[in-house]
Chains A and B, each alone.
Chain A
Amino acid sequence: MEIVSDSSSPSKTKDIDGLLANVGYKVRSSELHQVAQNLERLESAIVNSSSDISQFASDTVHYDPSDIGNWVDNLLSEFDHTASLPYDFSQLPDLSAPPPQHHHHQSSSTVNNVEEDSAIKLVHMLMTCADSVQRGNLSLAGSLIEGMQGLLANMNTNSGIGKVAGYFIDALNRRIFGQNNVSHQVSLYENDVLYHHYYEACPYLKFAHFTANQAILEAFNGHDCVHVIDFNLMHGLQWPALIQALALRPGGPPFLRLTGIGPPSPDDRDNLREIGLRLAELARSVNVRFAFRGVAAWRLEDVKPWMLQVSSKEAVAVNSIFQLHRLLGSESDSNYHSGIEMVLGWIRSLNPKIVTVVEQEANHNENGFMERFTEALHYYSTVFDSLEACPVEPDKAMAEMYLQREICNVVCCEGPARVERHEPLVKWKERLGKAGFRPLHLGSNAFKQASMLLTLFSAEGYCVEENQGSLTLGWHSRPLIAASAWQAVPLLDAETLRFDC
């Protein structure tokens, strides 16, 4: 911070805050906190005031605004309202709660207050920084980042707001200094490893897999030739359970084909084929006739329906776990189909018996940066809270890294590079409805299974809720993941869907 020399009071120059002095206000650095609080109180008093404040406006000219501390004090004394913070902290889960302290009991109350104050201040600064980024005031944003990093140095960054804030500060930093697209390009191998630990550390992926499998199993009832299309095969961890359930279904297993979509493998390896071989071996051991096909594509938009080789005799299930939102940022092609419309269109042309969609229940696709930032801060705070309860290391640390990349993408990137465009279920319902799908109810079996699965996780705080046929998994009543199932509305005679090329 710059020190501004003030010839009239040399003994006090070192104390004046430089940033505010640049814009014409004289405040002592030691009083900054108090002045800030008073400003907030004043703002909320003005906003919440139900009485006529026009007379108040004329009073303000009596006080010297450059001595802002006194100015605020005087104005506040004109009001009788009780103070309230401008942001509604009751909605932020655990953000200002201090981390659990097992050892300090007597002194904990003072420590808690200090921690809480720091937490509140940190959140304020995060919001202000994001706001200045949105306005383009990068120098202010930069100094706020320094301030926050200083604050973090004195806070507990192992849990709670300290930890989450750290990731968001880092992401803002990257955005300001233009490291958007370069820094966190992890290799495919690293992505695999992080994904696996994320799978183990928390129940989100397992909930997604088990719920989707249950819906697919029920949809395949009575069919002898079934074909599952997985939009993101990864390690194929979803499919052993389905293979086993099909093996044990009354009437015997069907002939199961699995088409797995995934990124092309580096070197000469064929990761998709390796996963396929492993699944085939498992299927063979339980006597399920199985065939696998891998489709390598960097993006889902690049996949063409003919690559999937769907036959009309089979019952098709399309499975998308956290994939559809990645299509929302892609630009329209020459036929004016946006990426998502195109893909939903060819999914429908396959006439699937069921489409299982699992997505993050969050709104991270607003155009306004500030809204996105705030939403993401709430959402990931809750997710990290739920991770706190994970007892297994190094899974937890890796899972956090996995999430950190999502955070970075939401905060730093724009345009096609921003792929983590999460949208809540209501928006997906709208989109899928327009694309010609109608919802399928997930049923009580899926609900029971999900509840049971969650009971197995040592953390108590997860909850499954049913909402008009879809299931959401949440942490302490904040929904985090939504699973739903869909069926194509039968085409009318006049409609044809053609997706050549």
Chain B
Amino acid sequence: MMHHHHEYMQEGTRRTTSRTQQQSKRHKFFINDNIDILREILKRLDGPSLGVASCVCRLWCNLTTKDDSIWEHLCFRHVSTPPPASVRPVVVALGGYKRLYMVCVRPVLSRLGESEMVRKQVWTRHEVQLSLSLFCIDSYERLAGGMVASDAAASSLIFLCNPINV
């Protein structure tokens, strides 16, 4: 009786294993098939991690470089009250959220973050306004024509780069 029981058990296990294997083949979750979820995850990354993410594969690269909403989220995640809807068309017209982040928000954040006043990493509308103003000047200088590369900051914003210990 024990012998039969044992054989019965073994067969049962074999059947269960093959069933789970088939199940996993049918319902295996692949992140690249679910772009909305991917986007939600990417939105919550910080700047450097987004940079790393863009190197993973072509899909991720396209998402991070072409999808501005991810960068919009990154730009304003520190803001205590979300900016009004009128901001988006202005930012898009001036060059987009990715550029806003790379050229203004990131340097301003890092520079302000160094000062003792703003360690709390929460922005008020003042910091937002200042970043937007600087971004606008950058956009205007690029209008002046072709002297700067597309990702480099325009000349007047160079003071935001390379903090030097004086």
* Docked complex Cα distance between A287 and B89 (Å): 9
A440 adjacent to chain B (CB < 8 Å) = no
Find out whether the CB atom of A286 lies under 8 angstroms from the CB atom of B159: no
B159 & A458 in contact (Cβ 8 Å cutoff): yes
Q: A458–B163 contact, CB under 8 A?
A: yes
Q: Which of A422-450 contact B (CB under 8 A)?
A: 445, 448-449
Q: Which residues of A contact B129 (CB under 8 A)?
A: 245, 449
Of residues 95 to 143 in B, which have CB atoms within 8 Å of A's CB atoms? 107-108, 111-112, 115, 117-118, 126-127, 129-130, 132-137, 139-141, 143
From known contacts A200-B155, A200-B158, A391-B162, infer whether A244 and B90 are also in contact, taking CB-CB under 8 Å.
yes
* A285 CB–B CB distance under 8 Å: yes
On whether the beta carbons of A456 and B137 are closer than 8 Å, the reply is no
> Which listed residue, A237, A456, A461, touches B108 by the CB 8 Å rule?
A456
The verdict on A456 contacting B89 (CB below 8 Å), with A244-B94, A244-B133, A448-B126 known, is no
Minimum CB–CB distance from A403 to chain B (whole Å) comes to 17
Please name the residue on chain A nearest to B157 by beta carbon. A200
When chains A and B are docked, how far (Å) is the Cα of A282 from the Cα of B132?
14
A15, B5: Cα distance in complex, Å: 124
Whether, in the assembled complex, A241 has its beta carbon less than 8 Å from a beta carbon of chain B, the answer is yes
B86 contact set on A, CB distance < 8 A:
247-248
Report the bound CA distance from A200 to B157 in whole Å.
8
B137 touches A241 (CB 8 A): yes
Determine if A240 is an interface residue (Cβ-Cβ < 8 Å): yes
Size of chain A's interface in residues, with CB distance under 8 A? 43
* Beta-carbon contact of B127 and A286 below 8 Å: no
> Please, which residues of chain B bring their CB within 8 A of the CB of A250?
84
Q: Mark A282-323, 1 if CB is under 8 A from B, else 0.
A: 100111000000000000000000000000000000000000
Q: Mark A371-400, 1 if CB is under 8 A from B, else 0.
A: 000000000000000001111100100000
Q: Are B130 and A282 closer than 8 Å at their CB atoms?
A: no
Q: Is A152 an interface residue (CB 8 A)?
A: no
Contacting A at CB under 8 A, from B44-89, are 84, 86-87, 89
Contact indicator B164/A391 (Cβ below 8 Å): yes
- Whether A457 sits at the interface, judged by CB under 8 Å, is yes
Which B-chain residue is minimally distant from A444 (CB atoms)?
Answer: B126
Judged by DSSP, the binding face of B is helix
On whether A457 and B159 interact (CB within 8 A), knowing A244-B94, A449-B130, the answer reads: yes
* Interface range for B: 35 or more
> Is A234 on the interface with B (CB-CB < 8 A)?
no
Q: Are B133 and A286 in contact (CB under 8 A)?
A: no
- In A193-243, the 8 Å CB interface with B consists of 196, 199-201, 203, 210, 213, 235-237, 240-241, 243
Query: In the complex the two chains form, is B156's CB within 8 Å of A248's CB?
Result: no
Instruction: Render A441-478 as a binary contact track against B, CB cut-off 8 A, 1 for contact.
Output: 00001001100110111111100000000000000000
Bound Cα distance A64, B159 (Å): 63
Are A389 and B87 neighbours in the complex by a CB distance under 8 Å? no
8 chain-A/chain-B pairs, Cβ below 8 angstroms: A241-B133, A243-B136, A244-B90, A247-B86, A247-B90, A278-B143, A452-B112, A456-B112
Given A240-B139, A248-B90, A455-B111, 18 other A-B contacts at CB below 8 A? A203-B159, A240-B137, A241-B133, A244-B135, A245-B132, A248-B87, A278-B140, A282-B143, A285-B93, A390-B159, A392-B158, A392-B159, A445-B126, A448-B126, A452-B126, A455-B117, A456-B112, A457-B159
A residues whose Cβ falls under 8 Å from a Cβ of B: 196, 199-201, 203, 210, 213, 235-237, 240-241, 243-245, 247-248, 250, 278-279, 281-282, 285-287, 388-392, 395, 445, 448-449, 452-453, 455-461
Sorted nearest first, the 4 A-B pairs with minimum C-beta distance are: A241-B133, A244-B136, A240-B140, A285-B93
